[in-house]
Structure 1
């Protein structure tokens, strides 16, 4: 892939002899496979990018590739994913900033910022209405230099539900078991009142599948959020049901045989990572879904629960009430909307966004 021939598409020159080309999808995917595998500690498989860049029900990815002038060697790449967003109940075209990668030999030359500026210019030219992204700390600087602003901070909260695996990592086995037994008894006493409300009937699904009930739920509840990503069956089935990276499970809350809310999670290394809860404004419902997860974690011996969301997300308050504690790691969410956009006022309001970790790229 070092000698990919650039298509005659939107090409921008940057300093020090590099060109940025918006590539057709197939060429862009091949370039992304190469660039990501050159810069990641773990292998990036073609199946992941086909799913992420090609199969998205909201549309295919847009991919820019940075080439070294003359040789056409790949120096880096960036991608954005279409995402339907509701802003004041109106569906708008949004881009979710996805992979950004610059090869080691070409770093500290402004390529990452230049790649992200291509997305900003495309937004200014009307190809989408706005964008958002959740970069890591290094990439956050590229977003800032590209003119994207920080919406807020993503916070992670976690709750220990079974202490034995933790003690076994830190103590000899003969000491870990009795210490864990005492700790778990204390945890159960502290959490004895954490039970889901009997207003709801909870249903667990080990395989994520979403149908028209989720369309109806989102249509009926989305008006509570000035800015929210569409969570209908088409999106949820793609994001969680067909995700090749992990298996998602769901907890469904029913009231009078009607779907009232859902929680989506994955299990990794003995921890249930909660990806999404919807709706989140109803504290009674969100608290019941979280309480059900606490009980499920105890039943199945999971060591902990974890949930990450934008710091203004109302579900975080319910997490704290149920004994979730903040963890040190944080990240920033960025966004961009043109100065003359009618969406600008509401999008600039950090309290307007309903965002969970499930709204990130994958």
Structure 2
């Protein structure tokens, strides 16, 4: 006779189990009030359906000791629409943080996810990466933060004596301003408080390449950014000389840095042009920001960014698992990932 399992996994109901899940998160996943706001947005208001959430129970005590989730996303991959699941919010109580409980929870999530999603992907922290590998997820790419200074005085101050830093920084600013004005000639930036049809008109599956690429239509933008309680986003819309929409950047200002959470252009996976990115940098500087920061992976790091002086910084691993039989032979080609493909 087989021994009873020490732990069992159960499917959660996001309405019924809200307080239980928030309790498991408490002390594990960040500020309590922030996580409660995230729950109501990410778990209860997702336009693609409720996330797949599993609970881990310790059978001897009967206590709920862990939780893990795959949130639904729509993506293009290999020219077809696929249902994807982004792996988020893994939490196991401290007394049960041996490898086995977390491993059994993630294995159950992969098995259940394969019945609902055609691919699953996640951004584990270094401690969770070993669990992802043991479960069977494989590296997809690295999400790399790229940074670009647009006001140089503070940057130079860390490298030159104070009497020299100010004039040197102003000189660099003046040179950079002229360079960006030349590169962005024929384009102009326009700030929007909310996503609208102009932004979504730039999305087309025909420009999504082989993927995987999240569908960036109006439904996605409004839910992912406008309705999110976790970010305060404005959109920079870049237009051509005749007013034609060319690209957009979903931006948030924090402590003088302009963080770009997501972006898309009429060129699709070819990425925004050098002129369009130069417009972003010029508008960031005009808005008083000192630097621009973007996290992206693979195809998203095109010439428009690298050709405008963005420097790669900290990389983070991204793992994935193709679930559908038709996807097992698909190799990511025009992979496009940004911070928007995460859950915050």
TM-score past 0.5 threshold: yes
For residues 159 and 214 of structure 1, the distance between their equivalents in structure 2, rounded to whole angstroms, comes to 24
Report what 1:8 is aligned to.
Answer: none
Confirm whether residue 294 of structure 1 aligns to residue 281 of structure 2.
yes
Residue 281 (structure 1) aligned to one of 228, 253, 269: 269
- In structure 2, what is the equivalent of residue 85 of structure 1? 75
Q: 1:220 to 1:258 in 2, by over 3 A?
A: farther
Conserved 8 A contact 2:79-2:209: no
**Partner residue in 2 for 1:211:** 196
Q: 1:186 to 1:37 in 2, by over 3 A?
A: same
Cα 1:254/1:300, change in 2 over 3 Å: closer
- Contact 2:145–2:295 under 8 Å retained in 1: yes
1:318 matched residue in structure 2? 304
Q: Secondary structure at the match of 2:146?
A: strand
2 CA distance for matches of 1:251 and 1:221?
A: 23
> 2:343 aligns to what SS in structure 1?
coil
Structure 1 alignment gaps of length 5 or more: 1-12
Instruction: Flag the 1:18–1:293 CA change in 2: closer, same or farther, 3 A.
Output: same
Residues 243-254 of structure 1 mapped to structure 2, 5 A cutoff: 243-254=228-239
Distance 1:49 1:72 in 2: 25
Q: Assess, with a 3 A threshold, how the Cα gap between structure 1 residues 219 and 178 changes in structure 2: closer, same or farther.
A: same
State yes or no: 1:29 paired with 2:15: no
Task: Please say if 1:107 is aligned against 2:89.
Answer: no
Task: Provide the aligned length of Structure 1 versus Structure 2.
Answer: 337
* CA pair 68-260 structure 1, distance change in 2 beyond 3 A: same
Cα distance 1:322–1:47, how it changes in 2: closer, same or farther (>3 A)?
A: same
Alpha-carbon distance, 1:242 to partner? 1.1
- 1:142 matched to 2:127: no
The range that moved more, 42-51 or 189-198, is 189-198
Report the counterpart of residue 43 of structure 2 in structure 1.
Answer: 53
The match for 1:240 is 225
Hey, what does 1:7 align to over in structure 2? Answer: none
The two structures have a TM-score, normalised by structure 1, of 0.84
Structure 1 residues 215 and 225, CA gap change in structure 2 (3 angstroms): farther
What's the offset of the Cα at 1:147?
0.6
User: 2:208–2:269: 8 Å Cα contact kept in structure 1?
Assistant: no
The one-character-per-residue Cα deviations of 1:151-195 (angstroms, maximum 9, x if unpaired) are 011111101222445577x69xxx758624422422432453123
Q: C-alpha separation between the residues in 1 aligned to 2:109 and 2:213?
A: 21
Question: Aligned partners of 2:174 and 2:294: how far apart in 1?
Answer: 20
**TM-score (norm. length: structure 2):** 0.88
In structure 2, do the counterparts of structure 1 residues 47 and 341 end up closer, same or farther at CA, with 3 Å as the change threshold? Answer: same
Whole-Å Cα distance in 2 between the matches of residues 42 and 159 of structure 1? 30
Q: Summarize deviations over 1:234-291 as a string: whole Å, max 9, x none.
A: 11001011110121011112344443321111111211111112135345x4323321
Q: Which runs of 5+ in 2 are unaligned?
A: none
Equivalent-residue separation in structure 2 for 1:221 and 1:199 (angstroms) = 26
Pairing 1:224–2:219 present: no
Structure 2 Cα separation of the partners of residues 257 and 300 of structure 1: 22
The CA deviation at 1:213 is 3.3
